[in-house]
């Protein structure tokens, strides 16, 4: 049960951390020093037109859902290995999708690219079940 609880909180933290990591990373990659990029992100947390806090919250919601799912899904007495692999697959797919969307938006020159943030949770929720199935399928031959 301890491992399940650790995974639960790890998933939640991961969900909220992806957004700042992507934003600070892209800003730093564009040439801003890392500390300045981090303080810029912090300064824009509640700033109109940036709303980094809200973006992190929106991006973290599907991961919170996945965390709740994993809490129930893996809390059985002897959770099969395939379930763990499925959750790992779902998280991997979710992170990949979240990072890809963040980087696409942040590197876009379009003035309306920010609309993409509204689609972020739906896109993550779409790929997570696919990642879960993929994880289970990968784990299945190994188990047999």
Partner 1 sequence: MTSRRRVIWLNLGLLGLLFAAAIAAWVGMTGSIGARIYAKTLREGSAGERCKAAEALESFDSSGAPAVPALLEILRNPEDPAAPLCARALREIDPQAAYEYVTRLIGNSAPLTPATTSVFGNFGPIAWRAIPLVRGALSRPARVHAFAALIDMGDYDDELIAAIIKDARGGVDSWGARLALDRLGDVANRIQPSLLERLTSDSTPVISAMGKTIPGKVGNQSGYASGGLEGFPHSDRGYQEYALDQLSKQGARAADAIPDILTELHSKSLLIRFTAAWTDAHGILRTIRAPRASRRTERSEQSGARRRGRCHPRD
Cβ neighbors of 89 (< 8 A, separation 6 or more) are 131, 132, 133, 134, 135, 136, 138
Among 3, 5, 80, 137, binds partner 1 (CB under 8 A): 5
Q: Does 75 bind partner 1 (CB under 8 A)?
A: yes
- Which range in 53-61, 83-91, 126-134, 136-144 contacts partner 1 by CB under 8 A? 53-61
Among 17, 26, 58, 71, binds partner 1 (CB under 8 A): 71
Site for partner 1 in 8-47 (CB under 8 A): 8-9, 12, 43, 45-47
Q: Smaller CB distance to partner 1: residue 124 or 134?
A: 124
Q: Smaller CB distance to partner 1: residue 102 or 139?
A: 102
Size of the site for partner 1 (CB under 8 A): 25
Q: Smaller CB distance to partner 1: residue 31 or 49?
A: 49
**Distance between CA atoms of 15 and 66, rounded to whole angstroms?**
10
Binding site for partner 1 (CB under 8 A): 1, 5, 8-9, 12, 43, 45-48, 53-54, 57, 64, 67-68, 71-72, 75, 108-113
């Amino acid at each position: 049960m301890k491992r399940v609880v650790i995974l639960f909180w790890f998933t939640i933290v991961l969900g909220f951390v992806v957004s700042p990591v992507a934003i600070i990373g892209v800003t730093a990659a564009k040439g801003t020093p890392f500390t300045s990029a981090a303080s810029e992100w912090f300064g824009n947390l509640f700033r109109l037109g940036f709303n980094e806090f809200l973006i992190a919250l929106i991006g973290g919601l599907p991961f919170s859902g996945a965390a709740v799912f994993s809490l129930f899904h893996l809390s059985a007495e002897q959770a099969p290995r395939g379930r763990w692999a499925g959750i790992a697959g779902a998280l991997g797919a979710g992170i990949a999708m979240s990072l890809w969307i963040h980087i696409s938006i942040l590197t876009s020159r379009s003035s309306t690219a920010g609309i993409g943030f509204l689609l972020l949770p739906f896109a993550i929720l779409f790929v997570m079940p696919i990642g879960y199935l993929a994880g289970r399928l990968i784990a299945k031959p190994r188990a047999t």
